[in-house]
Structure 1
Amino acid sequence: MRLVQISDCHLLADPKGASRKGFPLRQLHAVVERARALRPDVLLVTGDIAQDETSVAYRHASEAFATLECPWFWIPGNHDQPELMAECQPFHEEIDLGEWRVLLLDSRISGQPGGELGQRQLQRLASQLEADDRPVLVALHHPPLDVGSVWMDAIGLKDRDALWQTLSPYPQVKALICGHIHQAFAAWQGMVAVYGCPATSDQFLAKSHEFATDEAARPGLRVIDLRGEALSTWVERVDI
């Protein structure tokens, strides 16, 4: 089973609209083309699909994702408008991959760059884990731990400690994946792996005290292969 993660597209209604360092829709198309060559079974998009919060931007995204001809799912990021997203593609709380499950969390706080899950969502997560002991991959937009960039760590997941407390009794949780950080990232929290994903739009400079883009880094995606209880993952980059 192969899952491809795409994140942080920051699309505009104008298909030729520019970001700080590039052209988001053109870059998304290049990343999707690379994903197609990898033959994914599932695509998961971990938030910040639109920059200008327009329905047209979400249509650009959904049309691009549909070309992969595999099931695709998304969760909102801090820049997104969930109501507009849902008009293009409904939200899901869980993806059943047979031997594995993917549990999808919404960490968006309206009008704020940082994220939070809240008690109700954490209670739902515990119930989902209690009901089924198959291996689990958890997906959310905001990183559930510090990534080493001062400005980014200030706008991460506010209730990360509560999240890890919720997950701690459940050894079937193998990894968490996130967006938001616009860079490849890998770390461990106890026995659980945490992976960040490059953006399809601008890349952020790692280990930076203040906001900075990484002009040398290319857009990319993360590949996650699930076989038995084993998870393997790597990042692919594309030229634009």
Structure 2
Amino acid sequence: MPNEITLAQLSDSHLFADKSGQHHQANVYQNLKRVLLSIKQQPSVDAIVFTGDLTQDHTEASYLLFTDAFDDLKINIPVYFVAGNHDEPALLKQYLSKAPFCQSSVIENDYWQVLLLASKSDTPAGVITADECNKVGSLINAAKSQLLLTHHHAADAGFFIDRHGLLNKEEFYLWLTKFPSIKALGCGHIHQALILPIALADRTINLYTCPATSIQFDINSSTAASNGQGPGYQVFTLASTGEISRKVVFV
């Protein structure tokens, strides 16, 4: 890879078994394809990361529909993924098994590591287990900078979705302090493009939340509702200096 990594993150497609399936009045399959077409037209995207909630109706057909969207648009950029609370990890592994999909949890060059952390639990809320932290921690190269991507948000967003956030935030923050080279976090789940600072004992890092390909949540609603905004994604540029820049794109 070149000196910098350009990474497109998309999240929360909430697909149904049928291409005409609608989530809060939005055709989520067409929205996913609009996002993928936009990513395909971005210059020099080295990798795509999907941060979960592929399915809304939990059917195997919805997983096939997800891969169909990439096939239809002839996406040949490597695609990495992590499960959301709606997803079955075994089905992701089964259906996202051929190119362009990659089942590794690390993307790296000489300067950066992008590491995927599983946060799915038995409830809609998230947990990053000690085993998961140990696994990811063993991959960290302190001579490089790290961006960590997961599904659930590790900082409160200030609206209803916080009921389903990361349950073990404090333990996770303690783990983050062990690795000064971790520069930022990214997540899906909240269907909004926010920057949420996380104050650790030794420093503050930003959590960059990814807009959904399906719908964006109305932050003034007490339950899931669309704010009418179109589908979106975010692009990270990870420079050899350790600097990180982030751009949000709505289509």
By the TM > 0.5 criterion, same fold? Answer: yes
Distance 2:112 2:233 in 1: 21
| Corresponding residue number in structure 2 for 1:173 | 182
1:124 aligns with 2:135: yes
Deviations 1:106-163 (A, max 9, x none): 10013x110101121122233333x4431000011000010111x2111100111111
1:142 counterpart = 2:152:
yes
| 2:114 paired with 1:102 | yes
Q: Residue in 2 aligned with 1:230?
A: 243
Provide, for residues 14-51 of structure 1, a one-character-per-residue CA deviation record: whole Å limited to 9, x for no partner. Answer: 11111112101011001111111113110000000111
Match of 1:214, SS? Answer: coil
Given residue 36 of structure 1, which amino acid in structure 2 is its aligned partner? Answer: K
Summarize deviations over 1:90-115 as a string: whole Å, max 9, x none. Answer: 532222234211111110013x1101
Q: Is residue 119 of structure 2 the alignment partner of residue 114 of structure 1?
A: no
From 217, 222, 232, the counterpart of 1:210: 222
Q: Cα distance, 1:209 vs. partner? A: 5.7
Tell me if 1:85 matches 2:92: yes
Partner of 1:7: 11
**2:175 maps to amino acid:** T
Residue 189 of structure 1 and its aligned partner are, at CA, apart by 1.4
Partner of 2:23: 19
Determine the C-alpha separation between the residues in 2 that align with 1:89 and 1:133. 32
SS of 2:37 mapped into structure 1: helix
| Per-residue deviation, 1:63 | 3.0
Asked if the contact 1:183/1:196 (under 8 Å) is kept, the reply is yes
Q: Which residue of 2 aligns with 1:194?
A: 207
- The residue aligned with 1:62 is 67
1:135–1:27 CA distance, 2 compared to 1 (3 A): same
Gap runs ≥5 in structure 1: none
Tell me which residue corresponds to 1:37: 41
Distance 1:180 1:77 in 2: 7
Q: Contact 1:184/1:235 (CA < 8 Å) preserved in 2?
A: yes
Higher mean C-alpha deviation, range 151-160 or range 63-72: 63-72
- Secondary structure class of the residue paired with 1:161: helix
What is aligned with 1:51?
56
TM-score w.r.t. length of structure 2: 0.88
CA distance in 1 between partners of 2:11 and 2:182 (Å)? 22
* Identical residues among aligned pairs (%): 32
Kindly indicate whether the alpha-carbon contact (under 8 Å) linking 2:49 and 2:80 is maintained by their aligned counterparts in 1: yes
- Equivalenced residue count is 234
Counterpart CA distance in 2 for 1:166 and 1:72 is: 27
Q: Does the CA contact (< 8 Å) of 2:215 and 2:228 recur in 1?
A: no
Q: Give, in whole Å, the separation in 1 of the partners of 2:158 and 2:111.
A: 34
Q: Distance in 2 between matches of 1:33 and 1:77?
A: 23
Which letter maps to 2:75? L
AA paired with 1:44? Answer: V
Aligned-partner residue type, residue 147 of structure 1: A
Aligned match of 1:220: 232
Tell me which amino acid in the other structure corresponds to 1:126: G
Contact 1:105 1:140 in 2 (8 A): yes
